[in-house]
Amino acid sequence: MFLNPASVVVALAVFGCALPVNASTTTFSNPSAIIINDSTNPPTKATPYGSTVAVTGLAGQAVVKVTVQLIGLSHTFPDDVDIVLVGPEGQNTVLMSNVGGGRPGAANVTLTLDDDAPTSLPLSGPLVSGTFKPTKRLSSFQFSFPPPAPDTPGAASLSVFNGTDPNGTWSLFIVDDANPDAGNISGGWSLTISTIPVLLSIDQAGPNVVVSWTNSLSGFTLQTAPSLSAVWTNAFPAPALASGRYMVTNPITSPTRFYRLSKSVAFN
């Protein structure tokens, strides 16, 4: 992008090439059944543990919304079931835990978990098909999840995945936390991901360059370097928020300068 005959500034995004500006929504599925096993030594791992969905083809995109559908859930005591979703970058959320009540249980229920649903899953049952917020009755678990799941999963909110790279393996880890009772998810599960392009906008303002990106992406740091082979450093000053965008203003001090968005990932 030519700012003037002597100054060139190039915008990069850490996730790759630019895609259409409009947000897009894609669904990925694993239709294989999941058996929710029971044992006398809970927590008991489901089979498989975990069930995975491979997300591909979303290069240059960042997550702005995730919903999950559990298809054909049956269990004689749903309160025993704990389900955790782990994304490709290690973020995780509890989809349901200690909800849905006890006997007679749930039979062939399809649940859509969506942060924007009007209600949470019922704590005392009955568990019925519908769209609900991810719901975790207790603030913490009384046990550690067996590996490779995170041993202490986080809160019940799918927004933890916002701003992350959607590409990679998403894993669903299910345990039964009490004896007896068992169940299954006969139709497997699906993952619906809404994404937007990770794009930087660059404009010249007198002797300065103004770099901006949408505030839908949280936790990103703007970095800069004089060349692609040079060391990247954090751009200063800190971004200012205006009109729904993060903005950083830098003086134009060299003929060429590169910018990119970077995000550190914390694994549990």
Task: Looking at the structure, tell me whether residues 137 and 234 fall in a common domain.
Answer: no
Which residue among 196, 216, 235 closes a domain?
Answer: 196
Task: Looking at the structure, tell me whether residues 48 and 180 fall in a common domain.
Answer: yes
> Does the pLDDT value for residue 154 go beyond 90?
no
pLDDT of residue 22: 55
Which residue among 170, 196, 222 closes a domain?
Answer: 196
> Does the pLDDT value for residue 6 go beyond 60?
no
Distances (CA, A) of 196 to 19, 47, 193, 215: 8, 34, 10, 11
Task: Looking at the structure, tell me whether residues 181 and 217 fall in a common domain.
Answer: no
pLDDT tens for 89-99 read 899 999 999 99
How many angstroms separate the CA atoms of 94 and 62, rounded?
Answer: 21
pLDDT tens for 126-136 read 999 999 999 99
pLDDT of residue 242: 87
Task: Looking at the structure, tell me whether residues 224 and 113 fall in a common domain.
Answer: no
pLDDT of residue 110: 98
Q: How many domains does the chain have?
A: 2
Task: Looking at the structure, tell me whether residues 119 and 61 fall in a common domain.
Answer: yes
Task: Looking at the structure, tell me whether residues 175 and 156 fall in a common domain.
Answer: yes
- By residue range, what is the domain housing residue 71? 24-196
Task: Looking at the structure, tell me whether residues 72 and 192 fall in a common domain.
Answer: yes
Mean pLDDT for 11-38 is 70
pLDDT of residue 201: 85
220 confidence band (pLDDT: 50, 70, 90): confident
The CATH number linked to 150 is 2.60.120.260
Global confidence as pTM: 0.75
Task: Looking at the structure, tell me whether residues 182 and 224 fall in a common domain.
Answer: no
Task: Looking at the structure, tell me whether residues 177 and 210 fall in a common domain.
Answer: no
Evaluate whether 61 touches 141 at the Cβ level (below 8 Å). no
Which is nearest to 162 in space by CA: 135, 198, 130?
A: 198
179 confidence band (pLDDT: 50, 70, 90): very high
267 token code pair: 């694994």
Task: Looking at the structure, tell me whether residues 100 and 84 fall in a common domain.
Answer: yes
C-alpha of 189 from chain center:
16
> Does the pLDDT value for residue 222 go beyond 80?
yes
Task: Looking at the structure, tell me whether residues 227 and 240 fall in a common domain.
Answer: yes
Task: Looking at the structure, tell me whether residues 191 and 130 fall in a common domain.
Answer: yes
Mean pLDDT for 236-265 is 85
Mean pLDDT for 24-51 is 97
